[in-house]
Amino acid sequence: MTKEPAVLARLSAIGLLALSACAVAAGAVQTVARADPPANVAIEWNAIASTSVMTTAGQSPQAAVLSLAMVQGAVYDAVNAIDGGYQPYLAAPNARRGDSEEAAAATAAFRVLTGFPDRVPAVAGLFPSQLGALAPLYDATMADIGDGPSKAGGVADGEAAAATMLAARTGDGRGGSFTFVPGTEPGQWRLGPPQGPSGIVAHDPAPWVGSVRPFLVPDAEMLRTDGPNALTSAAYATDLNEVKELGSLTSTTRTADETAAAIFWQDSGPAIWNRVYRSLASSRGLDLADTARMFAMTNLAAADGAIGCWNDKARWSFWRPITAIREAAADGNPATTADPNWVPLFDPSVPVSGPPLVTPGFPDHPAGHTCISAATVGALQAFFGTNRITFTAMSNKCSPAPCPVRTFDRFSAALKEIVNARVWGGIHFRTADAQGAQLGKKVARYLTKHYFRPTRCRS
């Protein structure tokens, strides 16, 4: 596997926090020369974990962020215990300053993914069946690390952090039996009508996400949104008429770039964002410790964004635009008009790579992508101490893949586009997008206030 180079630099950032002993306030960029090895193992194992979670295991975006949060939280605790300077996420292993951060990072990721099958009793990881595929990758990483007490110490640190994470998340509600209950009254969610020549109807592969114990916030209830607009309100009519026009398969007002953006962001959000994280870590010269912290902050925030979002979806159980537009005659709003044949841009007739475009099989409100992406963006802003970071995102949704890349001059610009893109795709009301973004921002604010606080100046 190709490894990405690490530049001699350090960024120290966490919004709104400061240490009086430090020369710079948290949130500012601090560069300190440091002799790192020529590869950033945190980047390597984030890529391996992303493939394991989303490609090999095929987890849906809302489930994948939970798995990635477990991996990256453990990697952070293992590496931070050696490097120091920040609060642990769960607990700091009993590490020594000279332990190998590379061995700790790889071991923590590997063990969360595969578990400890040789222990008595065995400890299950996320994907025990992937042990045969992941073990050679782990061995290859470890072969690049010189043998000795440093390597052995790093392995012990990584194993301790992984075991703590797996124990902490046992019985957290993942894989539960919850399902969304369809309704028949106006405004109530029900599965979308069959789409495309084969009559595709999407079903949620992980509706249980909303019942999972959060990673950061005390309770998902604190992330509750205001809810969808009343069917008879002017705001609801505005939302419906907007998506009816801009989100239609045959829209004449949606631009070619808006169509491209809608399709671009329908790739798995966690996949897109973790590519961005790896690119930022490499291009901005983050060392392994800062890379591990950025990956943990973003993926843990995204996980709670998903949990809060799916919990809120169950609370409101609001219908999707395709149902609302086709059945608008029953909504009691004189400013809406039914179109029984309306089809959104997200229809199987549109050529894409991977699964066909279709109305998702879970309630509209709030929008999952904006919940997750807003939490992600808030965590990135906290880590870098600024919104003004230029970055490029890549998606594999286009046919042929990949899509043309999209470049943004600030994190919030990407979030703004995602909010719009869900309307352009015809699958969300704007209110669901906007309130989803607010939910994600709540997660990021809680993270900034309660987690990843600096404990000393690092040198």
What CA–CA distance (Å, rounded) separates 401 from 421? 19
pLDDT tens for the chain, 459 residues: list them: 333 333 223 333 323 233 333 332 333 334 333 334 448 999 999 999 999 999 999 999 999 999 999 999 999 999 999 999 999 999 999 999 999 999 999 999 999 999 999 999 999 999 999 999 999 999 999 999 999 999 999 999 999 999 999 999 999 999 999 999 999 999 999 999 999 999 999 999 999 999 999 999 999 999 999 999 999 999 999 999 999 999 999 999 999 999 999 999 999 999 999 999 999 999 999 999 999 999 999 999 999 999 999 999 999 999 999 999 999 999 999 999 999 999 999 999 999 999 999 999 999 999 999 999 999 999 999 999 999 999 999 999 999 999 999 999 999 999 999 999 999 999 999 999 999 999 999 999 999 999 999 997 555
Q: What CATH code would you report for 41-168?
A: 1.20.144.10
CB-CB contact of 366 with 440 (8 Å): no
DSSP label of 319:
P
231 neighbors 323 (Cβ within 8 angstroms): no
> pLDDT at position 458, please?
54
Q: How far apart are CA 414 and CA 426, in angstroms?
A: 19
Q: Match domain 207-450 to its CATH number in 3.40.250.10, 1.10.606.20, 3.90.10.10, 1.10.1060.10.
A: 1.10.606.20
Q: What is the DSSP string of 75-117?
A: HHHHHHHHH-SB--SS------TTS-HHHHHHHHHHHHHHEET
User: Where are the domains positioned within the chain?
Assistant: 41-168, 207-450
Backbone phi and psi for residue 409, each to the nearest 5 degrees, phi listed first: -95, 0
CA-to-CA distance for 16 and 272, rounded, in angstroms? 28
Whose structure tokens read 């909504």? 331
Q: Tell me, what's the pLDDT at 39?
A: 80
Task: Report the alpha-carbon distance of residue 217 to residue 100 in Å, rounded.
Answer: 32
